[in-house]
A and B are shown apart, each in its own frame.
Chain A
Amino acid sequence: MKALMSEEFKKISRNPEWRRALQAGVLKVIGGGSDGKSEVITVGKQKYRVSLMRRDLQESYPS
């Protein structure tokens, strides 16, 4: 099944600048941080704040 992937992300994920941001470790920085930690990246002319979402899930999930 297809995992969650917004149209915006699908669009930018094909952009070489996104891949450069990945190589620069944007996700590792965010993923290694606490909730809400963010980094700003530029893809094309658009700036994006990439952030780790805060835990506000409504349901509990399998551990």
Chain B
Amino acid sequence: MSIAFPTILIFFLILPGFIFNLYFYNIENTQLSYAPLTRKTVSSVFAAMLLNLFGFPFLVYFSHGALNTSLLFTVLSAIPSGPYETALHTLGDDFSILLIYFVLLSLFAYITAIVFRWLIKRFDLEHIGFFRLDNPWYYLFSGYDWKSGTPDFVMIAATLQLGNDVYLYVGILEDYFFDDKGNIDRLVLTDVKRRKIGLDKHQVPAGEARFYPVDGDYFVLKYAEAKNLNVQFIQLEKIP
């Protein structure tokens, strides 16, 4: 008990920091943080410190001073003594307040992470390196970094080897997925056409189709199997 309780307490104290980290880097239900575990842990613990620094005065206020820093340190020290026993009893008396504190602080961490991410997007702060996610593919395929105008969609051309032949696939990028290291795992294309790479313009008589459409609504392209990838951005402009 004397060892387990401080451990549980520490866990609940740093949990909001991990929740913040989890949702701050969550874009469209995908984690876009590929930092090493050590860095993630350090930033989560730092976020937990800030969150507790903000929330702790409220805990002291609503427990009428019973749950305070002195009590917290006594419990965390886990030294079996009179003050420790008294602190545990006090904690037991105000356990519901402590529980509500952890729940509310975790909720606050979740909301703060989402609001911060929204603010970064809203005010285009990702142009600043500090706020930028460590995933250039994300910015490339979301067309984020164009200086003037915004593309309307992304066109992909990829070469794939099938048997002894190399084919060129061209289609409109609909979705893309990352692996756990932040590299592209697969691309989902629509309106896909393909041709043998050898059928270049000058080798096919004018008027003959070089490409032929691939049947189906979605074409899943495994990035690892692509020899190379060409990305083009297309813009639509209404003509009055």
Chain A positions within 8 Å of B, measured between CB atoms, are 1-6, 8-9, 12-13, 19, 22-23, 25, 27-28, 30-32, 40, 46-53, 56-59, 61-62
Which A residue's beta carbon lies closest to that of B129? Answer: A59
Given contacts A4-B151, A5-B153, A58-B127, contact A53 B233 (CB under 8 A): yes
Do A3 and B174 touch (CB < 8 A)?
yes
Q: How large is the interface on B (under 10, 10 to 19, 20 to 34, 35 or more residues)?
A: 35 or more
- Give bound CA distance, A6 to B173, whole Å: 12
- Give bound CA distance, A48 to B236, whole Å: 6
- Give bound CA distance, A41 to B193, whole Å: 19
Q: Count how many pairs of residues, one from A and one from B, have CB atoms less than 8 Å apart in the complex.
A: 115
The 5 closest A-B pairs by CB, nearest first: A4-B143, A47-B239, A6-B152, A3-B173, A53-B233
Given contacts A1-B141, A6-B150, A31-B157, contact A52 B236 (CB under 8 A): no
Chain B positions within 8 Å of A, measured between CB atoms, are 27-28, 30, 127, 136-143, 145-155, 157, 170, 172-178, 191, 193, 201, 211, 213, 232-239
- Give bound CA distance, A12 to B191, whole Å: 14
- Give bound CA distance, A54 to B222, whole Å: 28
Shortest distance between the CB of A30 and any CB in chain B (Å): 7
Do A59 and B30 touch (CB < 8 A)?
no
Residues in chain B near residue A27, CB distance under 8 A: 155, 170, 172, 234
Do B27 and A53 touch (CB < 8 A)?
no
Given contacts A3-B175, A4-B151, A49-B239, contact A30 B234 (CB under 8 A): yes
Residues in chain A near residue B193, CB distance under 8 A: 28
